[in-house]
């Protein structure tokens, strides 16, 4: 701004006419320690002056980047420097997949500081109408003789599901949250765009009678995973928790089980790692059926070890392994559960829904919610009460008096 005397203010010689407006610069220290000019632009001199003042203020606070990163460049930095060192491997795999497949192809070339709410909304809309087989070249990656849709000229219309779109938006929102924290942008535009929540498919859990039939069939067939099925149905253990159990976790004399590890597949790796939170760790009492099943499992594993000989691989002393001692793939356990349910003549429910089955059994047997909360290891009693509100009061209430008796009857 020019003073009444006609002289410019101190330092205002760095504001000058440029194209159809004005430009200004400030000498700043970059994050790598160099001194460089940082430019701002405005349609009027006053606008350029205001930006110049703001830039001066930023330069006094600390290092200032002179070049704005693209969305792709920031996401690469975010994944490598923030997500990978600080979050679980499975979270990194999930975020990396969202960035590579859904975010970077559409928004990657945009400048991070220029990304708008409209850009994000249009991107999400485009995701819903983009065939992912075409976009990712899935059919094109097959051998020419096996190509059957997009690469053959017939789009299969494999559109992204609602949960995929929500996951992609959530990944971008998480990344931009860090960009705001690190003062690269002023607001998180992804947080301002709403996406429809995927409808949760409700599946009726097994009744006590159905769970008993499943276990009875497993015993009759001498199923080497009988102990795993008993634990998921009686104690509500999750898939990863069952597969992550070690013999050190089991106290046969006290009749207790300590849950503190899980098996997870993260990309190409199978990981034996701690449970998600400390609240998930707990000593759980073992019903007589579970104790007997685990003793049977120990005898089976000793037999497997002798039969395998030098081929045996000891994996952290896991309770449930393949016949060569290696960890069981989490996906394989899910498939084996479905196969055994069909074999027993039962309707198939997802393995993860066995926790709801256990919950229903606890409700039917009038177990106090606080005790059920400990068995199910819910961090909040509200989670347990939600299960209690949803559970049905079928003929099971009158059919059985105790959960251990219901399962113990299978032998």
If pLDDT is split at 50, 70 and 90, which confidence band does 5 have?
very low
116 in Cβ contact with 128 (< 8 Å): no
* Distance (Å, whole) CA 174 – CA 194: 14
CB 385 within 8 A of CB 355: no
pLDDT in the model for residue 290: 82
Six token digits for residue 383: 């989670």
Q: The dihedral of CA 285, 288, 293, 299: what is its sign?
A: positive
CB within 8 Å of 31: residues ≥ 6 apart: 63, 65
Contact call for residues 45 and 52 (beta carbons, < 8 A): no
Q: Write the pLDDT tens digit of every residue in 235-246.
A: 888 888 898 898
pLDDT tens for residues 313-328? 877 788 999 898 888 8
Taking every pair of Cα atoms in the chain, the longest distance, rounded to a whole number of angstroms, is 102
Query: What is the Cα–Cα distance from 131 to 150, expressed in whole angstroms?
Result: 9
Model confidence at 404, pLDDT cuts 50, 70, 90, reads: very low
Higher-confidence residue of 327 and 357: namely: 327
Residues with Cβ within 8 Å of residue 260, at least 6 apart in sequence = 249, 274, 275, 280, 281
Which pLDDT tens digit goes with each residue over 169-199? 999 999 999 988 887 788 899 999 988 887 7
| Contact call for residues 363 and 391 (beta carbons, < 8 A) | yes
pLDDT tens for 268-295 read 666 666 665 544 456 777 777 788 889 9
Tokens 């765009």: give the residue.
Answer: 193
Q: Is the pLDDT of residue 79 over 60?
A: yes
Strand order in the sheet with 15-18: 15-18, 21-29, 35-42
Cα separation, 114 vs 303, in Å, equals 64
pLDDT band at residue 379 under the 50/70/90 scheme: confident
Percent of the chain with pLDDT over 90: 25
| Phi, psi for 109 (deg, rounded to 5) | -85, -10
More confident residue, 280 or 116: 116
Name the DSSP class of 303. H
Cα 56–chain centre separation:
42
Contact 262, 249 (CB under 8 A): no
Residue for token digits 């399962």?
407
Average pLDDT, the chain: 81
Instruction: Say how many Å lie between the first and final Cα of the chain, rounded.
Output: 91
Q: Say if CB 75 and CB 99 are below 8 A apart.
A: yes
Q: Taking the model in full, what pTM does it have?
A: 0.64
Question: What is the structure's pLDDT at 365?
Answer: 55
> pLDDT at position 388, please?
62
Q: Is the pLDDT of residue 98 over 90?
A: yes
Query: Which pLDDT tens digit goes with each residue over 41-73?
Result: 888 989 889 888 988 888 888 777 766 789 998
pLDDT band, residue 341 (cuts 50/70/90): very high
The residue that leads in pLDDT, 207 or 394, is 207
* pLDDT score at 9: 45
- Tell me the C-alpha distance between 318 and 240, whole Å: 12
Statement: residue 362 has pLDDT above 70 = no
**pLDDT for residue 6 is more than 50:** no
Distance CA 161, CA 96 (A): 18
Q: Residue 124: phi, psi to the nearest 5? A: -65, -40
CA gap 8, 349 in Å, rounded: 77
pLDDT reading at 225 higher than 90 = yes
Identify the pLDDT of residue 406: 44
What's the pLDDT at 395?
A: 40
Which range has the worst mean pLDDT, 5-9, 108-112, 276-280? 5-9
Q: Give the pLDDT score at 168.
A: 94
What pLDDT shows up at residue 126? 93
Q: Is the pLDDT of residue 14 over 90?
A: no
Percent of the chain exceeding pLDDT 70 equals 80
Question: What domains can you pick out in the chain, each with its CATH number?
Answer: 12-61 (no CATH), 71-192 (1.10.150.130), 208-408 (1.10.443.10)
Q: Indicate whether 397 pLDDT > 70.
A: no
């Amino acid at each position: 701004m020019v003073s009444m005397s006609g002289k410019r203010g101190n330092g205002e010689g760095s504001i000058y006419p440029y194209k159809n407006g004005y430009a200004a610069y400030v000498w700043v220290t970059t994050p790598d320690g160099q001194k460089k000019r940082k430019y701002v632009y405005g349609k009027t001199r006053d606008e350029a002056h205001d930006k110049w003042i703001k830039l001066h203020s930023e330069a006094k606070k600390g290092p200032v980047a002179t070049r704005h990163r693209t969305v792709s460049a920031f996401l690469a930095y975010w994944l490598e420097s923030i997500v990978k060192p600080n979050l679980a491997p499975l979270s990194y795999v999930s975020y990396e997949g969202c960035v590579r497949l859904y975010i970077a192809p559409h928004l990657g070339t945009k400048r991070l500081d220029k990304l708008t709410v409209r850009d994000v909304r249009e991107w999400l809309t485009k995701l819903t109408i983009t065939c992912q087989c075409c976009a990712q070249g899935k059919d094109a990656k097959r051998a020419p003789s096996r190509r059957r849709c997009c690469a053959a000229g017939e789009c299969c219309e494999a559109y992204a599901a609602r949960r995929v779109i929500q996951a992609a938006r959530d990944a971008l929102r998480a990344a931009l949250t860090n960009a705001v924290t690190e003062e690269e942008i002023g607001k998180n535009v992804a947080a301002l765009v709403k996406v429809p929540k995927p409808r949760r498919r409700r599946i009726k859990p097994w009744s006590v009678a159905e769970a008993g039939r499943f276990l009875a069939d497993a015993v009759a067939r001498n199923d080497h995973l009988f102990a795993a099925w008993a634990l998921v149905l009686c104690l509500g253990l999750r898939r990863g928790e069952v597969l992550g159990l070690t013999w050190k976790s089991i106290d046969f004399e006290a009749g207790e089980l300590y849950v503190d590890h899980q098996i997870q597949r993260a990309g190409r790796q199978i990981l034996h790692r701690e449970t998600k939170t400390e609240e998930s760790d707990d000593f759980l009492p073992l019903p007589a059926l579970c104790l007997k099943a685990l003793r049977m499992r120990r005898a089976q594993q000793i037999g497997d070890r002798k039969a395998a000989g030098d081929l045996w691989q000891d994996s952290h002393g896991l309770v449930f392994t393949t016949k060569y001692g290696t960890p069981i793939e989490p996906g394989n356990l899910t498939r084996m559960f479905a196969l055994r349910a069909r074999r027993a003549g039962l309707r198939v429910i997802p393995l993860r829904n066995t926790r709801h089955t256990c919950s229903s059994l606890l409700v039917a047997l009038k177990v106090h919610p606080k005790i059920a909360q400990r068995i199910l290891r819910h961090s909040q009693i509200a989670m347990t009460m939600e299960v209690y509100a949803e559970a049905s009061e079928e003929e099971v209430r009158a059919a059985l008096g105790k959960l251990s008796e219901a399962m113990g009857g299978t032998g």
